[in-house]
Structure 1
Amino acid sequence: MRTAGTEGKGKGSPVALASSSSGGTPRVGGTLVVGEYQEPTVYDPNHQYSWETYRVDRHIYESLVGEDLSKPSSEGPPPLIPALAESWQVSDDATTFTFKLRHGVKFHDGTPFDAQAVAFNVRRFHDKSFEYYDVKANAFMKAVYGDLKSFDVVDDYTVRYVFNRPFRDFPRMLPQGNYVSGIFSPEALKTWGQDGLAEHAAGTGPFRLVTRVHGEKTELARNEQYWGPSPYVDKIVFRPITDDSTRLAALQAGEIDILTRTPADAVQPLSSGGYAVPESTGADLLYLGWNFKNKFVQDVRVRQAIIQSIDREGLAKTLFKGHAMAAYSILNPGNTAYDPAQKDFAFDPDAARLLLSAAGFKDGDISFTIATDEANQPFIEWIQRDLAKVGITVKILSQEWLTYTSNLPHLSDDIALASMEWGFVTPLWLRIVYQGYVVARGGKDLLGPELAAAIDVASVEADEAKAIPLWKSANGLLQKQAGVVPLLTFTRYFATSAKVRGFNAPAQNWYDLSRVWLTT
């Protein structure tokens, strides 16, 4: 039995707990404004998706386990730390996880956090006999809890999860930004219902939800009863500003303090103008997933040729001005199994043409659509030009984020590829990609049983030292089959005004704003 976690941080003065790297004595007060590049989805831990949503609601809801987001990206994936659990034990076979819960914690609605509250949360998406079981929540959480054998309340402040097979990555999955295990108040769900919880979010986090105006803003206020260090700022306002130039202008005009997804053209001017544009390589990755129902995609030679036709280095250096890294593996640089030497196919248009000819296709024979959200349309246009050079005709279907993502489960046969920005620090990410972008899109048989078996073996290996090479081996098989199209990773994702202090961009897809403060 392995034990992890400590008593964790306690309640304290925000000034006394300041980091020496924050740039002076922190100032308490003020309103921090964040410019998001997408409209968030919903503030319900078991219904939400997208990083811009989780960047908001991770400050409202907390999981049993957290991540130390104060670590710079150069130090690799953020270490796991206690959150609503003070400590946890993992059985030697990595099937049983026992959590000792934190005492004295209250939800934002004043109700107590305890083992029964955790049980209510788990039963919502796992126990079909439960009065408040929710089919939608079950679908969202299945990737993490689909193999859960049992959940038990050991005592008022101890809970135990037992899985059918080893699940070494379970603690790491708890604070992740999809399949969110944030704990909500049972009373809030009872009062507002399954769909009403998002508008009346009640967690235990350092900030509480004040208001959400769709398309305009989300406002959070400091949780004065927070169990941990009190946040520095009084309020955080998240503003969705989907147009890059408008979002940049808002930062330069002082209307926002933190900008998400910094336009590549703006990095140098901002840096020279007194703004901070921290260099970091997180778990984020831009990539394309196949729609295996498309007749052209079903031929591995076509998939390989398409990858060989895309100048990823040129994309990173030209369109993204060198503020991105070309990606040749779905295991992103922030992933514990990332290996820069493990690459799929080099840029080689001549070899691509030979493959297409061997598959029986002439110039103009292959024509399909690539679907994307509006933010990623520019790089799809780059790919459109690259593929035209080898005789492939591409149409682009571009939609705003919420419309685009709602249509992803229902891709028409003429769509061959769809863009996505995602990534995890755990190599379990490879299984998520396989299930979500291969199996769910009709590619399991096309990519063969060897890949499926390799992913299954890696998934249940309890020893991390043994698991990493297994994941690399499975990744090699995915690459050989051209099972996904990695494109690039951003290296300058956030920008902050000169008055922002304590902001850190970790090797993760989100941040901790409770430790951020503003100068006058």
Structure 2
Amino acid sequence: MRKVSLMLFAATLVIVFLIGCGTTTPSTTPAITGPTTTMAPATTKPPATTTLPATAPATTPPVITAQPKYGGTFTWIHNGGITEIASVIDGAVSYRSLIPIFDNLLSVDKDGNPIPNLAESWQVAADGKSITFKLRQGIKFHDGTDFNAEAVKYNMEQMFAKNVRGAASLASVASYEIIDNLNIKFNLKQYDALLITRLAQTTIGMIASPTALKKETTAENRAQLHAVGTGPFIFDGWQRDSFVKYKANPNYWKGKPYLDAIVIKNIPDITVSIISLKAKEAQAVATIDPVDGLALQKEGYVLQRGTLLFIHSFVPDGANPKSPFADVRVRQALEYAIEKSAMAEGIGMGFFDVAYQSAMPDDPFYVSGLSERKYNPDKARQLLKDAGYPNGFKTKIVSDVRVRKDSLVAVQTYLAMVGIQTELDMADVARSTVINSNGWEGIYFPGFPVPNNLYSLAANWGATNSRVSVYKQAGFMEKWNALYAQPDQAKLNAQWRELTKIMHDDVMYIPYQADRSLDVLAKELRGFFLRANKTVDYWEPAKVWLDK
């Protein structure tokens, strides 16, 4: 049975190729544009033969035994765009591009938990109505301005006033009270657990020099005048959607960085990126496809996977009383219809994990013992029959241009095998965002997977303006609100596990695979680990060095 399943998946991949979708793309970056409507093949069944990696890619930062060396320029490539380089207040949102320049108020440990950084400690009041941060002494911005409580206050107020991305978390702050130069109190309207998380894991926590921010700028000089932080590197030039350059900060408060300079390049074409890597014009390429990764590994390059998981799923409109998916048996049938393990092996080529819930065993919100609705097409058909659909039915799938086409076609094919025929509506990213917020009919198949950390999952499942057509039992949103108001981390994790179980038991959505973005590194590169500490685009520039 297993061998047959894998052989038939290979046939599905041939179908993907024949309909113009044969070129695979990185799972967490934009894929290829599909047709406006496509009917799924009705008689072919997925999964695949697969070649597993000869050496498993690292999922934790490697232990370095050699003595770090100073000097050199590290160049790395991604395809995520470089649209704005300045301060967060100016609208710059690229965490990976800003982290060399700016330090966060807090940082994260390997499990994604908040830890001290610019703030050496913080204390939540017993009633949850305030958070007091004690700041480190002696830190200066690149322009010589002192880092202090006034700088933190100015940044927070300006971020909220400019309504930058993520600033909604600051809405819970009633006022900022400067106790003294190194102590600042955030007086809260109500406690919000996401506030601490965002200060540690997102650009909201990045503090810029208030002296620099008060300078008038133009589009031409904004980066030069406002990209002034306390970080290990100093802004040294950029070109929109092409590159950013940085030079080492010799006075960095954590110690002098090993590198002399860093260059981050944006190259949309992965083939061009790989050519540049092989030509020694770069030492790393981020977010490559498993096919390319395996080929490069055979040539001696190092493969590395971030610690942050991206959960791929699709979402039926269970909240629509006229939809077949309002019946939990139909939602269960969806999951039993999908051969997740064959998809993970055939598409992920050994790099993807099978997902049955919105967490993996090493996550604090993982629920052990949950039933795994493994591939069982006969059970899927029986559930459909019990729900009144003995011959199946027709429905829509709404997705967007970022989606992995091989995954989408595989799901369509599996559903067709049990009688669920799907018509595909391929939206652009803007329309897909509106659909997620305003609702859909049938199945919503997000083009971009959800990172499995608190603020990402909360934004997708714990917000009133997201996943609006999903079935939600009475009190579901109230449970999210209670989680947000929980200052005790252990209790918060317990509440989070309860939500994980509810989402699984009610089959609110169908998770089918999880992947950690795959990066390729030159052998001489040391200390570079992208998406470490279960945080989107987190890396530590000061720890990177070149062994040559």
Bucket of the pairwise TM-score, normalised by the shorter protein:
0.7 to 0.9
1:283 shift after superposition: 4.1
Q: Output the CA distance in 1 between the equivalents of 2:402 and 2:368.
A: 28
Deviates more, 1:160-169 or 1:33-42: 160-169
- Determine which of 186, 201, 210 is the counterpart of 1:186: 210
Quick check: 1:499 aligned with 2:524?
yes
Counterpart in the other structure of 1:8: none
1:321 shift after superposition: 0.6
Quick check: 1:26 aligned with 2:77?
no
- Secondary structure at 1:384 match in 2: helix
Q: Closer, same or farther in 2 for the Cα pair 1:441/1:81, shift >3 Å?
A: closer
Q: Output the CA distance in 1 between the equivalents of 2:64 and 2:223.
A: 33
1:205 shift after superposition: 1.2
Structure 2 counterparts to residues 505-516 of structure 1, below 5 A: 506-509=532-535, 510-516=538-544
Q: Output the CA distance in 2 between the equivalents of 1:449 and 1:149.
A: 31
Quick check: 1:474 aligned with 2:499?
yes
One-letter code aligned to 2:98: D
Q: Closer, same or farther in 2 for the Cα pair 1:86/1:312, shift >3 Å?
A: same
- Secondary structure at 1:105 match in 2: coil
One-letter code aligned to 1:319: I
Counterpart in the other structure of 2:98: 57
Report Cα offsets for 1:215-256 as digits up to 9, x if no partner: 322222222332221211122222223344433333333232
1:67 shift after superposition: 2.6
Counterpart in the other structure of 1:323: 351
Quick check: 1:91 aligned with 2:120?
no
Q: State the superposition RMSD in angstroms.
A: 3.5
Counterpart in the other structure of 2:422: 393
Quick check: 1:261 aligned with 2:287?
yes
Structure 2 counterparts to residues 326-345 of structure 1, below 5 A: 326-332=354-360, 335-339=363-367, 341-342=369-370, 345=373
Paired residues of 2:310 and 2:451 also in contact (CA < 8 A): yes
Q: Which TM-score applies when normalising by structure 1? A: 0.79
Structure 2 counterparts to residues 35-184 of structure 1, below 5 A: 35-43=77-85, 44-45=87-88, 53-68=94-109, 77-78=111-112, 80-126=114-160, 133-134=161-162, 136-137=163-164, 140-142=166-168, 144-168=169-193, 170-177=195-202, 180-184=204-208
Q: Closer, same or farther in 2 for the Cα pair 1:474/1:364, shift >3 Å?
A: closer
Same amino acid, percent of matched pairs: 23
Counterpart in the other structure of 2:7: none
1:320 shift after superposition: 0.6
Q: Output the CA distance in 2 between the equivalents of 1:348 and 1:462.
A: 42
Counterpart in the other structure of 1:347: 375
Paired residues of 1:289 and 1:417 also in contact (CA < 8 A): yes
Counterpart in the other structure of 1:299: 326
Q: Closer, same or farther in 2 for the Cα pair 1:114/1:455, shift >3 Å?
A: same
Paired residues of 2:437 and 2:468 also in contact (CA < 8 A): no
- Determine which of 435, 438, 445 is the counterpart of 2:462: 435
Counterpart in the other structure of 2:22: none
Counterpart in the other structure of 1:242: 268
Counterpart in the other structure of 1:366: 395
Q: Closer, same or farther in 2 for the Cα pair 1:337/1:32, shift >3 Å?
A: same
1:480 shift after superposition: 2.7
Q: Output the CA distance in 2 between the equivalents of 1:108 and 1:156.
A: 19
Q: Closer, same or farther in 2 for the Cα pair 1:394/1:315, shift >3 Å?
A: farther
1:270 shift after superposition: 3.2
Report Cα offsets for 1:103-129 as digits up to 9, x if no partner: 333333443322111111111244xxx
- Secondary structure at 2:462 match in 1: helix
Paired residues of 1:282 and 1:507 also in contact (CA < 8 A): yes
One-letter code aligned to 2:301: Y
Paired residues of 2:333 and 2:379 also in contact (CA < 8 A): yes
Paired residues of 2:436 and 2:468 also in contact (CA < 8 A): no
Paired residues of 2:399 and 2:432 also in contact (CA < 8 A): no
Q: Output the CA distance in 2 between the equivalents of 1:361 and 1:47.
A: 57
Q: Closer, same or farther in 2 for the Cα pair 1:46/1:303, shift >3 Å?
A: farther
Q: Output the CA distance in 2 between the equivalents of 1:262 and 1:349.
A: 33
1:362 shift after superposition: 4.7
Deviates more, 1:201-210 or 1:179-188: 179-188
1:430 shift after superposition: 4.2
Q: Output the CA distance in 1 between the equivalents of 2:267 and 2:493.
A: 39
Q: Output the CA distance in 2 between the equivalents of 1:280 and 1:29.
A: 26
Q: Closer, same or farther in 2 for the Cα pair 1:430/1:504, shift >3 Å?
A: closer
Q: Output the CA distance in 1 between the equivalents of 2:434 and 2:274.
A: 29
Q: Closer, same or farther in 2 for the Cα pair 1:318/1:413, shift >3 Å?
A: same
Q: Which TM-score applies when normalising by structure 2? A: 0.76
Deviates more, 1:360-369 or 1:471-480: 360-369
1:31 shift after superposition: 1.4
Q: Closer, same or farther in 2 for the Cα pair 1:464/1:83, shift >3 Å?
A: closer
Q: Output the CA distance in 2 between the equivalents of 1:508 and 1:482.
A: 25
Paired residues of 1:283 and 1:333 also in contact (CA < 8 A): no
Report Cα offsets for 1:492-520 as digits up to 9, x if no partner: 62221011012346342322122011123
Paired residues of 1:34 and 1:239 also in contact (CA < 8 A): yes
- Determine which of 281, 293, 296 is the counterpart of 1:270: 296
Q: Output the CA distance in 1 between the equivalents of 2:384 and 2:90.
A: 42
1:58 shift after superposition: 1.9
Structure 2 counterparts to residues 275-290 of structure 1, below 5 A: 275-278=301-304, 281-288=307-314
Paired residues of 1:387 and 1:394 also in contact (CA < 8 A): no
Paired residues of 1:95 and 1:167 also in contact (CA < 8 A): no
- Secondary structure at 2:447 match in 1: strand
- Secondary structure at 1:38 match in 2: coil
1:356 shift after superposition: 4.4
One-letter code aligned to 1:502: G
Q: How many residue pairs are counted as aligned between the two chains?
A: 477
Counterpart in the other structure of 1:9: none
Higher gyration radius (CA): 2
- Secondary structure at 1:365 match in 2: strand
Counterpart in the other structure of 2:26: none
One-letter code aligned to 2:278: Q
Q: Output the CA distance in 1 between the equivalents of 2:104 and 2:499.
A: 30
1:412 shift after superposition: 7.7
1:192 shift after superposition: 4.7
- Secondary structure at 1:314 match in 2: helix
Report Cα offsets for 1:187-233 as digits up to 9, x if no partner: 44433569886674222211222233233222222223322212111
1:21 shift after superposition: 4.0
1:98 shift after superposition: 1.1
